Structure 1
Amino acid sequence: MTPSRSSATGGVLPVSKVKYSRLADSDEGYIDLQFKKSPPKVPYKAIALATFLFVIGALLIIVGSLLLTGHITVTNPDRTVPVLIIGVLVFLPGFYHLRIAYYASKGYRGYSYDDIPDFDD
C-alpha cells in the first residue's frame, strides 16, 4: 500500500515573508541581487566592552600618574607603578577597538566592523 499525497490546491498555503524579484529577460547566469551588499552587522557588545576598557584604563592612567607625581599621598609608593602599568594594558585594547569602530562607522576605506571580535557566538 502506497501513501497518498495530499493536494495543495485544497488546503490553505502558509504566507511566506520572502521577497521575490522578477528575473531579467536575458539570463546570463547573474542577477543584480547577487551583488547587493547587505548592511554591516554592528557588534554592539564588543563596542560596549571596548568603551568600558577605554574608560577604566584612562581612569587608572590618571590615578597612577597622580600617585606617581605625588599629588595623591600614599603610604606605599611602590604600588603606584603597577596601577599605571595596568591602566596602560587596559587602555590600549579599548582604544584600538574604539578607533576601528569609529572609522568603520564613518565609512573609511580599510576599516570594517568585521575587524572587531564579536561575542555573539
Structure 2
Amino acid sequence: MSLASVRYQKFKRETGYSGEGEVYTNRQFEKPEPKVPWRAIGTATILFCTGSVLITIGALLLSGVLDSQYSDRTWPVLILGFITFLPGIYQLRIAYCAWRGYAGYSFDDIPDYHD
C-alpha cells in the first residue's frame, strides 16, 4: 500500500478544547475489535498435536510397550515432544480463554504473522 493511496479525514470540531485548539473526540480512544489470528492458532494446534504424539511415543518407549530395539530414541523423542507441546498448549489456552471472553485474555495476546 503506497502512501499516495491513503485517504485522510479531518475530525469535525466539537466542544471540548484542550486550550491550544486541539480537539479530542471519543473515536480516537476507541479500541478496534481484535482480529482472530487464525494462522497462529493453526500453528499452535499443529505444535500441540505433534507434541502430544511425540510424548505418547516417548512414554510407550520408556515403559517398554514398544520394542526395546528403539530404546536409544526414548529421551530425544520425549524432549522434542515437550519442546513442541508446551508452546502449542500455551497459545491454545490463550486463544480458548479469549474466545470464551474471560477477563484478561484477548486475541491481541497471540502473536500474529501479519499476512
TM range (shorter): 0.7 to 0.9
Cα distance change, pair 76–36 in 1 and its aligned pair in 2 (3 A): closer
Deviation at 1:32, TM superposition (A): 3.4
Q: Which residue of 2 aligns with 1:27?
A: 15
Deviation at 1:77, TM superposition (A): 1.2
Residues 33-75 of structure 1: per-residue CA shift (max 9 Å, x gap) = 3333321111111110000000000000011101110111131
CA RMSD of aligned residues (A): 2.2
Residues 7-50 of structure 1: per-residue CA shift (max 9 Å, x gap) = xxxxxxxxxxx9x9xx69x6223333333332111111111000
Q: Determine whether 1:39 maps to 2:44.
A: no
Per residue, is there more helix in 1 or in 2? 2
Larger radius of gyration: 1
- Distance in 1 (CA, whole Å) between partners of 2:70 and 2:91 is 34
Q: Which residue of 1 aligns with 2:4?
A: none
Amino acid at match of 1:109: A
Q: Which residue of 1 aligns with 2:56?
A: 62
**Alignment of structure 1 residues 56-95 onto 2, 5 Å:** 56-95=50-89
Q: Determine whether 1:110 maps to 2:98.
A: no
Q: How many residues in Structure 1 have an aligned counterpart in Structure 2?
A: 100
Give the TM-score normalised by the residue count of structure 1: 0.72
Query: Alignment partner of 2:68: what SS?
Result: coil
Which runs of 5 or more residues in structure 1 are unaligned? 1-17
Structure 2 contact 61–70 (Cα < 8 Å) conserved? no
